[in-house]
Amino acid sequence: MTDDRDAPLLGLALSAGIVTGVGELGKIAGDLWFSDFTMRSRDAIWMVPAVDGVAFVAVGLVLVLLRRRARVPWWVAAGLFAGIGTLLVLLLVQRLHPLAAIAVAAGLGTQAGRWVRPRVPASVRAVRRGLPWLVGAVLLGAGASVGWRAVAERRLAASRPRPAPGAPSVLLLILDTVRAAELSLYGYGRPTTPELERWAERGTVFERAFSAASWTLPSHASIFTGQPEFALDATNWDRLGPDWPMLAEVLHGRGYGTAAFVANADYVGWDSGLTRGFEHYDDYPVSLRTAVSATSLGRVIYPALHRILPKRLQRWDYLPHPVQYRSAARIADAFLSRLDDRPGTPFFAFLNFMDAHGPYTPPDSFLHRYQSPMPRPVSPYVFIENPPVRLTPTDLRPKQDKYDGSIAYLDAELGRLFRELERRGMLENTLVVLTADHGDEFAEHGFMGHGNTLYRLSVHVPLVLWFPGRIPAGRRVASPVSLQNLAATVLDLAAPGPGRLPGRSLARFWRSPDEAEPDTIVATVRPPDGKLSSIAFGERRYIRDEVTGTEELYDFEHDVLERWSLVASDSGRRVLPAYREALRRIGATEATLAQRNSLHGVPVR
Ligand SMILES: [Zn+2]
């Protein structure tokens, strides 16, 4: 298709694409300076210039075809590429209006074309000379990125001491965004979790387990460190800092092979601060989707395709969806294939599943498994505070139906994973911990999603522990417990020794059930413009908005949907001071960790 005459133009296109990619990386690096999350793979360092290079070559090919009919001068092409490149970089600047970006790009492209026009031979030579270096730099970036990780992984594995003889493995399964209320394991009306019900009989089910926060990063951070949310520096803008020892570090120090397989790569990925102690951290797969979605182009095209493509095509792995997470099947398979490589070593594996988090993309049979009858006429609506919209049952119920279907899919995949582990004989000496990082809300309190409130639906999560011969089977613990104590529990059950993590082992509920005290449940959250604290003990659950001073008090035992606040009641007024004082004593109301200002807009969680 091309001849020698075309080669310089395609070379120009490839060079311009790679330079644009480097420009995008510069912007991303700048973001990293102010906010710790890139929402991109570590491989973006080579993927972005590579994708931009290919995209520009595609534009170059169009110009080559055009050239057969009407000559496109070199300097016009140079100006065009400069304009497109500038536009792509500027589109990454959130606060810049796209029209402004287009205007600046058009101006800069025109100037670039004018500048090149009297310098055509020199610029052709410059492209010819520079191109091999640019391509070499991308390849070097790819080699360095992949190679450096492989070396770091190998070095960390080599530093692992010999484990205690017979040390059990630990499998931590975190079902992102799965609230206990939606599982048939916890009495939900729809049979969403038949597999979990069956497998949970082998262990102990905690009926009232609570996460320390209502969104992903601080909740995971609390699980891994044993610290309450308010003591940690993980926020919407900040990764978890290096100050707290982590469960994976302690287990690695006791001879465990450590590996994580996370579907929520944006907030549990390499830049979350949760990776310490893990030899292997599998977040973003190396795929076309990962590569394209790391670029400015992908971030423009993906949402557009999402609007025009049929849903069925969007679920296909290589056609883009703006937010598509690795499925439970793929997370489980990544874990299983890693196991194949490492027989004999006790492992600590952490799997994070995103199937029950929007946009809900399980196979059709699960997606449409539940369909609520719609009331007619459709009313009343619910006013949602965040975002401020009015929703009717016709908006809400299909969402919840899909949520339930997604949980059912996740349940089926967990069943498949457990059967495979059993077939391999790996469940005999493994402590399995199954839980969720937080729940989700469907406007029960005027909010959609999670991370905005501390209502029970957002923080009451499933918790199942099983370990043959070490944890009683078929038991249900009704006492409230906090996930903040999971790290201490895992160490107590699987790898006891000096160097503990904060928290109280939940094993007390079967070792000395009569004396076992319930946990005081503290959950806090710092949404972009607020701060909420909550505490539950005795018969009440108390929630406090630290900014407005608004208080709510609920009957912990009977009002599980938290519909009737007792703040204004006589009984409420009598006990309120005790709850206020308890929160103050714990320090949750005085935590004033530096929170970066909200220049960055509200990210998806
Ligand atoms: Zn989450």
Q: 197 pLDDT exceeds 70?
A: yes
Looking at residue 32, its pLDDT comes to 83
pLDDT in tens, 369-397: 999 886 655 555 666 665 666 777 777 88
Give 458 Cα–ligand 1 centroid separation in angstroms: 10
Looking at residue 343, its pLDDT comes to 67
Give 215 Cα–ligand 1 centroid separation in angstroms: 5
Looking at residue 254, its pLDDT comes to 95
Give 243 Cα–ligand 1 centroid separation in angstroms: 22
Query: Which of 45-49, 434-438, 587-591 bottoms out in mean pLDDT, i.e. has the lowest?
Result: 587-591
Give all domains of the chain, ordered by start, each with its CATH number: 4-147 (no CATH), 160-285+326-528 (3.40.720.10), 529-605 (3.30.1120)
- Name which of 354, 343, 330, 355 is nearest 416 in CA terms: 330
Looking at residue 595, its pLDDT comes to 37
Looking at residue 323, its pLDDT comes to 57
Give 460 Cα–ligand 1 centroid separation in angstroms: 13
Looking at residue 300, its pLDDT comes to 83
Give 174 Cα–ligand 1 centroid separation in angstroms: 9
Give 287 Cα–ligand 1 centroid separation in angstroms: 23
Which long-range CB contacts under 8 A does 364-368 form with residues at least 24 apart?
A: 364/312, 366/405, 366/406, 366/408, 366/409, 366/412, 367/402, 367/405, 367/406, 367/409, 368/405
Give 175 Cα–ligand 1 centroid separation in angstroms: 8
DSSP string across 327-373: -HHHHHHHHHHHHHH-TTS-EEEEEEE-TTSTT----HHHHTS--PP
At 602, the pLDDT band (50, 70, 90 cuts) reads very low
28: CB partners within 8 A, 6+ apart = 38, 40, 44, 48, 92
Give 436 Cα–ligand 1 centroid separation in angstroms: 8
pLDDT in tens, 405-424: 999 999 999 999 999 999 99
Give 216 Cα–ligand 1 centroid separation in angstroms: 3
Looking at residue 544, its pLDDT comes to 96
Say what percent of the chain tops pLDDT 70.
91
Query: Which of 85-89, 278-282, 287-291 bottoms out in mean pLDDT, i.e. has the lowest?
Result: 287-291
Looking at residue 591, its pLDDT comes to 46
Give 517 Cα–ligand 1 centroid separation in angstroms: 28
447 vs 200 pLDDT, higher one: 200
Give 414 Cα–ligand 1 centroid separation in angstroms: 18
Looking at residue 375, its pLDDT comes to 62
Q: 133 pLDDT exceeds 50?
A: yes
Contact 257, 157 (CB under 8 A): yes
pLDDT averaged over every residue in the chain: 89
At 69, the pLDDT band (50, 70, 90 cuts) reads confident
23 vs 324 pLDDT, higher one: 23
Report strand pairing: 551-555 vs 280-282.
unpaired
Q: 598 pLDDT exceeds 50?
A: no
238: CB partners within 8 A, 6+ apart = 35, 36, 596
Query: Which of 175-179, 303-307, 516-520 bottoms out in mean pLDDT, i.e. has the lowest?
Result: 303-307
User: Which runs of consecutive H residues, i.e. helices, occur in 383-507?
Assistant: 393-423, 456-459, 486-494
pTM of the model: 0.91
- As a whole number, mean pLDDT of residues 68-84 equals 89
- As a whole number, mean pLDDT of residues 89-104 equals 92
Query: Which of 53-57, 118-122, 131-135, 499-503 bottoms out in mean pLDDT, i.e. has the lowest?
Result: 499-503
Looking at residue 576, its pLDDT comes to 97
Q: 458 pLDDT exceeds 50?
A: yes
Give 320 Cα–ligand 1 centroid separation in angstroms: 22
Give 357 Cα–ligand 1 centroid separation in angstroms: 8
Give 325 Cα–ligand 1 centroid separation in angstroms: 12
349 vs 9 pLDDT, higher one: 349
Looking at residue 587, its pLDDT comes to 83
- The neighbourhood of ligand 1, an ion, using CB within 5 A, equals 176, 216, 437
